[in-house]
Structure 1
Amino acid sequence: MAQTLAEDQYGRKIDRCLTDTVVKFGGGLVLGGMFSLLFFKRRAWPIIMGSGFGIGMAYTNCERSLNGK
């Protein structure tokens, strides 16, 4: 059996965090853009808020993953 090094496990966690951040940021950006176009007369704040929520959720997931909880 091959052993996995601690550095490799940490690297995989960081890769998952970056992927999760990109996906959640993109989802928040798209959702905010849709709300901006459909309901808020093309204002910028729904896009910014959706992106911020996405990054915040990704940060929480990464923090939980890296702390081992």
Structure 2
Amino acid sequence: MQSMLPTNVQGGEWQSRAIAMNKALVFGTKFWCVRENKTMSLQLLREFMPLEKLAELYCRAVDDQWPEEAVSPLYN
């Protein structure tokens, strides 16, 4: 993932936030797939990529009492 980020932009804070957001997307979606017995796919990742969908995934994780390892990346 690091290689996909531009290196010539000033300030690396946005990069660390983007990496954290990507990790949350992948971890949260994967855990959801396991729970729902679905197959992880690029299309599914694209569906959960908008912030609204990512927030919905977090709310579902809290409501369904997912383990802390699955909720933590979505919370941060």
Q: TM-score range by the shorter chain?
A: 0.3 to 0.5
> So what's the TM-score if we normalise by structure 1?
0.46
When Rg is computed on C-alpha atoms for both structures, the one with the higher figure is 1
Task: Give the structure with the higher percent helix.
Answer: 1
> So what's the TM-score if we normalise by structure 2?
0.43
